[in-house]
Amino acid sequence: MAEILLSEVEKYYLVMGVGQDVRVDGRSRSDYRQGDIDLNAVTNSHGSIRARLGETDVIVATKVDLGTPDPDRPDRGTIKFLVDCSPTASPDFEGRGGDELAEKICRILSIAYDKSGTIDLKNLCITPKKYCYVIDVDILVLQCGGNLIDVISMAVKLCLGICELPRVTGLRYDLGQGVPVFSTDEFEFDYLDVKNSPVVVTLPRVGRYFVVDASLEEESCSKGKLAFGVTPDGCVTSIDKLGRGCYQVKSIQAATAMASTVGANVNNTINMRIDSLRELKLRADPKPLSMPMDI
């Protein structure tokens, strides 16, 4: 994880501030930073988002592919994640430095989307056992300014929300058996229903308190953090512990309660953003292509 070095005094000042519910940038413990969303960051993808929250900056793009369903779940499609931590985001990512983090983020995302059952993957199946949609989600970290996983999860949800699945118009028999033929009409597509899919809320413990949307400085003051997958109705779908340190059951319960309320709020906002992005795309002149995140 990208880290910056702080002096003991700076750390002390920061931790004591959190204790008073006033963070260095003036937020309270459950406040998010300012951010915005750009639509169509990658024009040749089937739906792409560039999301910024504070200094964290990520691009998420989806590509729809034709694939064969997993033999274990022959009637479902798949969503695959690939995270690339660019060395421009942090010097720590140079060489293979970002791989471990990337792998971890991939795992969290596939638990949240591919396995949690919050998205009905049956909608991605075209012909059982033979053909299904495979959505490749590519995530590029441009700048790591704290709370990376949360920003990625929000961007991924937004991106899947606006991902265009070209409609299947028929089956073609010249390449093996019944290859689906997709519509070539640029406006003939379906959206994936991601309403119930979770966003990740990471709560690092700074001093004795958990904070949301930690900045890089705050993250360097915490030993470990808990990552929760939270659905719009506040249901926690997963808990992960990242970093070092250990937690008492009581504090985990407190963190879960906090994640549940904050997460529900964030997730609902994201759902609203998805709706407005879809509307934006329907406009004849889809400009401006940008909107505030406003959580």
Site residues (vs other proteins, CB under 8 A): 38, 43-46, 57, 64-66, 131, 142-143, 164, 166, 170, 172-175, 179-187, 281-284
Q: Nearest approach, Cβ of 168 to other proteins (angstroms)? A: 9
Q: Nearest approach, Cβ of 202 to other proteins (angstroms)? A: 23
81: exposed, middle or buried (Cβ count in 10 Å: 0-12, 13-18, 19+): buried
Asked if residues 205 and 183 have their Cβ atoms less than 8 Å apart, the reply is: no
Q: Nearest approach, Cβ of 179 to other proteins (angstroms)? A: 5
Non-local CB neighbours of 180 within 8 Å, separated by 6+ positions: 66, 126, 127, 131, 168, 170, 171, 172
Q: Nearest approach, Cβ of 215 to other proteins (angstroms)? A: 17
As a whole number of angstroms, the distance between CA 179 and CA 268 comes to 38
Closer of 50 and 225 to other proteins (Cβ): 50
As a whole number of angstroms, the distance between CA 130 and CA 87 comes to 39
Q: Nearest approach, Cβ of 174 to other proteins (angstroms)? A: 5
Asked if residues 36 and 292 have their Cβ atoms less than 8 Å apart, the reply is: yes
As a whole number of angstroms, the distance between CA 94 and CA 77 comes to 34
Closer of 43 and 248 to other proteins (Cβ): 43
Closer of 34 and 183 to other proteins (Cβ): 183
Q: Nearest approach, Cβ of 182 to other proteins (angstroms)? A: 4
Longest dimension (CA), the chain: 71
Three-class SS state of 189: strand
Closer of 56 and 231 to other proteins (Cβ): 56
Closer of 62 and 202 to other proteins (Cβ): 62
Closer of 140 and 212 to other proteins (Cβ): 140
Which parts of 20-124 fold into alpha helices (H)? Answer: 99-109
Angle at 65 between CA 56 and CA 79, to 5 degrees: 50
Q: Nearest approach, Cβ of 286 to other proteins (angstroms)? A: 9
Closer of 77 and 180 to other proteins (Cβ): 180
Dihedral of alpha carbons 249, 204, 236, 264, sign: positive
